[in-house]
Structure 1
Amino acid sequence: MKILVPVKRVVDYNVKVRVKADGSGVELANVKMSMNPFDEIAVEEALRLKEAGKATEIIVVSIGPKQSTETIRTGLAMGADRGILVQTDDIVEPLAVAKVLKGIVEEEEPGLVILGKQAIDDDCNQTGQMLAALLGWAQGTFASKVDLGDSTVDVTREIDGGLQTVKLNMPAIVTTDLRLNEPRYASLPNIMKAKKKPIAEKTLADFGVEATPRLKVLKTAEPASRQAGVKVASVDELVSKLKNEAGVL
């Protein structure tokens, strides 16, 4: 069984994001980029399923500029078998991403698609659900545990009230949450091997998808800076400030 893992190139989560001076977006020049953390978890889960003998091939897919090849190489260095880059310099919204992934799924015919629940740049949390709708497949979102059977997969989901376990008929879509696993570090030998693994290059036109955005970003601004706190001399003064100044009592 093949497992397809879409991955996204984003600003590294350790980098403090800066807004452009004109408010048109986030500064990306000379900024460290890396694989979306939720997608790393998806790659790790696919690798564990393969190591358990439940999958035969792992395909890593990315949609973005030429530099996204580096993100795919990261997945290959972790242990994935091959990659697919759908190259575009345009901003691709979740629906367009889902349409491209639908085309790749129809070509590759995987039994399972595992992807991060959201990307840390736009936090849309939409692609997995849209892909499941387009394919008509079952979906298990926010997975904290995945138990793969012969023709079904049990997904334990993190919900507001605790945990929920759903049984999905395969093929299926699974989106990963933080507590699913701890991604591995790629070893130096695997990094060298990844350079020789194949990456197929495609375009949006190959799947009949246009990247014309449906949303327009009017302005990007940094959140207001946090105000300094004050010290109070007594509980009575604290209660007074909470009631009269903060208005929370």
Structure 2
Amino acid sequence: MKIVVCVKYVPDAAGDRQFAEDLTTDRESVDGLLSELDEYAVEQALQIGENADDAEVTVLTVGPEDAKDAVRKALSMGADRGVHVEDEDLHGTDALGTSAVLAKAIEKTGYDLVVCGMASTDGTMAAMPAMLAERLGVPQLTFLSEVLVEDGVVTGCRDGDAATEHLQARLPAVVSVTDLSGEARYPSFKGIMAAKKKPVESLDLDDLGIEADKVGLEGAWTKVEDATPRPARTAGTVVEDKGEGGKQLAEFLAGQKFI
């Protein structure tokens, strides 16, 4: 059974994230890491692989050279091999372009099941799994809090506000899992050392048969046209309660149009 986990290398949410001069995400001035929500996808893929015969878990990412760190993190958690798609012409690629690249890489790698996180922690679009399923022509089971694969069928639970849906599809398929699917394991020292010896295949656009003008900033269907830096935090307003504190607070909130 071939399991492919799609992961993303994202700017650290604790850092000072901002746009570069070309209004793409600035990945140079802030540390990057494996998207936290993708760690849940890696965990579920590993659990499925541990309960299947002859399973292989491949971690796939698209991004600059540093994105390989996200693959290494997943390999240290227990994945078997990695695939890193890197090409200078990919700079500025939007979600639609990225889905095309991922789909070609998945087809080249071979798959029975594709596992994704519910969203990335930078873009938070939560649309990539659906795009991949459409491009691959396979069923999608998204936003699962539980996932199980048996006898060529993947089943899962999707928790809604009013009810829980029980879903199933025959493989091959694409699934995405939420942060309620189970805590991701921490890489052990043994796992970290073993990850250094695991294979990571590098691919570019030529390997995937994708024309450069179909991706990148110029080929993107969505772009950021303008951005204004967040204003510096100002001093707060202190309301001294001398019997009319509630009234003053209400007037302040009304003046700010909060109420």
Conserved? CA contact 1:25–1:219, under 8 Å: no
Question: How far, CA to CA, are the matches of 1:150 and 1:92 in structure 2?
Answer: 38
2:9 alignment partner in structure 1: 9
> Does residue 245 in structure 1 map to residue 250 in structure 2?
no
- Taking structure 1 as the reference length, the TM-score comes to 0.87
Question: How far, CA to CA, are the matches of 2:62 and 2:49 in structure 1?
Answer: 24
1:216 alignment partner in structure 2: 223
> Does residue 41 in structure 1 map to residue 51 in structure 2?
no
Conserved? CA contact 1:60–1:82, under 8 Å: yes
C-alpha change, 1:103 and 1:234, in structure 2 (3 Å) is same
The amino acid across from 1:198 in the alignment is P
Q: Deviations over 1:116-165 (max 9, x none)?
A: 12211222222111111112211111111112221222221233435322
Question: How far, CA to CA, are the matches of 1:133 and 1:23 in structure 2?
Answer: 30
User: Where do 1:1-249 residues align within 5 Å?
Assistant: 1-19=1-19, 24-53=23-52, 56-89=55-88, 90-209=91-210, 210-211=214-215, 212-223=219-230, 228-231=236-239, 233-234=243-244, 237=247, 240-241=250-251, 244-247=254-257
Question: How far, CA to CA, are the matches of 2:25 and 2:86 in structure 1?
Answer: 21
Alignment coverage as a number of residue pairs: 248
Conserved? CA contact 1:9–1:34, under 8 Å: yes
- Taking structure 2 as the reference length, the TM-score comes to 0.84
Question: How far, CA to CA, are the matches of 1:185 and 1:140 in structure 2?
Answer: 26
2:180 counterpart SS class: helix
The gaps in structure 2 that reach 5 residues or longer are: none
Q: How big is the shift at 1:184?
A: 1.3
C-alpha change, 1:229 and 1:48, in structure 2 (3 Å) is farther
Across the aligned residues of Structure 1 and Structure 2, the Cα RMSD in angstroms comes to 2.5
Q: Deviations over 1:169-213 (max 9, x none)?
A: 221111121111111111112111111111111112222323122
Question: How far, CA to CA, are the matches of 2:12 and 2:59 in structure 1?
Answer: 19
The gaps in structure 1 that reach 5 residues or longer are: none
2:123 counterpart SS class: coil
Question: How far, CA to CA, are the matches of 1:18 and 1:99 in structure 2?
Answer: 26
Task: Return 215-224 or 85-94, whichever deviates more.
Answer: 215-224
Task: Return 217-226 or 159-168, whichever deviates more.
Answer: 217-226
Question: How far, CA to CA, are the matches of 1:58 and 1:243 in structure 2?
Answer: 53
Q: How big is the shift at 1:60?
A: 0.5
